[in-house]
Amino acid sequence: MKKNLSVVILAAGKGTRMKSNKAKVLHEVFFLPMIHHVLTAVEPLQAGRTVVIVGHQRQAVSAAIAGFKTETVVQEEQLGTGHAVLLTEKVIPAGTGDVMILCGDTPLLRPESLTAMLAQHRASGAGAHGAVCTLMTAHVADPYGYGRVLTTTDGEVIGIVEEKDGTPEEKVIKIINTGIYLIKRDALFTALASVDRNNAQGEFYLTDIIEKLVISNQKVCQFITPDPDEVLGVNSRLELALAHAEIQRRRNQALMLAGVSMESPESIVVALSAKVESDCLLEPSVRLLGTTRLGRGCRVGQGAILTNCRIDASCEIGPYSCLTGVTLTAASVIPPLTCR
C-alpha cells in the first residue's frame, strides 16, 4: 500500500445530459455501474486512501460502492469540481505525498495507464525543480467540449481553458484535458484556496489550479495517454453505448488471445464475472452472463443465453437455448431452444 498516495474520485454530479433520474455514475457499462470500472482501475495503485466525493443521490452511490475500500465526502452544493476536491482536505492529512484526481464517469481507464502516469510523475518530481503536478492529456481530432491544454514549446503545461471560456484561437488546440491529475497534496490545497468563480459557469474550476501553480513558478508536466478513447467521459446515452462496446471488444479480444474461438465476436457478450476456458467455441450472438463458467472444449450455439451456469468440459449447448442456474456434467448435450 502506498500511504504517500491518495485517490480522489469525483462522483457528485447529476449528469443532466443522460436524461435520467439516476445518478450518472450509477448507469451501467458492461453490466456494472460505471464508477465500479474506475474503482477497479485504481486498485493496482494500492493507494493509502481512496476518497469518493458524492452529492446527487449520495445514498445510492454510497451503497453501490460499499464493496470497495473507500471513504466518502459529501458535496452538499454543486459549486464545481474545484469546490468538490477542496472538501477532501479534511480527510487527506498534510504532508501525505501525492493526490490522484479522477472522474467517476470514465469507465474505459486502464490500470496500466494510471500506473505509468504515477511512475512518470514520481520521476519528473525528483529534485528541487521537479514537477509538482502531472496532468493526463490526449491528442484528439475533434476537441469540441473539452478543456484545451495550453503548453510551452517544451511541452510543459501552463494553463487549461474550458470550451465556454476559450478564444477562437484556443478552441483550435487539439490537446485536451482528460480530467486526471497527479499533484502534491499541499500544493493542491494551497492552489485551490485561491481559486475563484469568475468564469462562464460561475463555478470553482479544478482546472484553475494549473494557472495558480504556474504563477507561483511550480512545474506542471503532462502525461500523454496513447489511447484517447481510454479517457472517454460518459455524458450521454450515446457515449454509454460506445463505452459498453469498447469494453466488450477488449473482453473478447482477451478471451480469443487466451484460446477461446468466437464467430462474429462483435455480437458476443461475456460478462467480466464469467469464466471461459480454452478451446471453447462461441457462435454468433451468445451471451454468457453473471457467474457462468464454461469448461474446456465447450460449444455454445448461436443466440444461446447462459446466466449463472456451471458447464463442465466438452458440453454442447444448442442454438437459442436459455439456461439460468444450470449445472451440466462433462460432455452433456442440450438440444436447441431449451429453456430451463
Q: Where in the chain is the domain with CATH 2.160.10.10?
A: 258-334
Mean per-residue pLDDT for 101-123? 96
pLDDT in tens, 150-175: 999 888 999 999 888 889 999 999 99
The residues annotated as belonging to the active site are: 17
Query: Which has more confidence, 65 or 145?
Result: 65
Phi, psi of 305 (to 5 degrees): -125, 120
pLDDT at residue 24 tops 90:
yes
pLDDT at 78 (0 to 100): 87
pLDDT at residue 118 tops 90:
yes
Mean pLDDT across the chain: 94
2-231: CATH topology: Spore Coat Polysaccharide Biosynthesis Protein SpsA; Chain A (3.90.550)
| This prediction's pTM | 0.93
pLDDT band with cut points at 50, 70 and 90 for residue 126:
low
The distance from CA 156 to its chain's CA centroid, rounded to whole angstroms, is 25
Distance CA 209, CA 193 (A): 9
pLDDT in tens, 56-80: 999 999 999 999 999 999 999 889 9
Distance CA 29, CA 293 (A): 21
Q: Which three cell numbers stand for residue 91?
A: 480527510
Mean per-residue pLDDT for 96-102? 95
Q: Where in the chain is the domain with CATH 3.90.550.10?
A: 2-231
Phi, psi of 278 (to 5 degrees): -65, 160
pLDDT at residue 1 tops 80:
no
| Domain 258-334: CATH class, spelled out | mainly beta
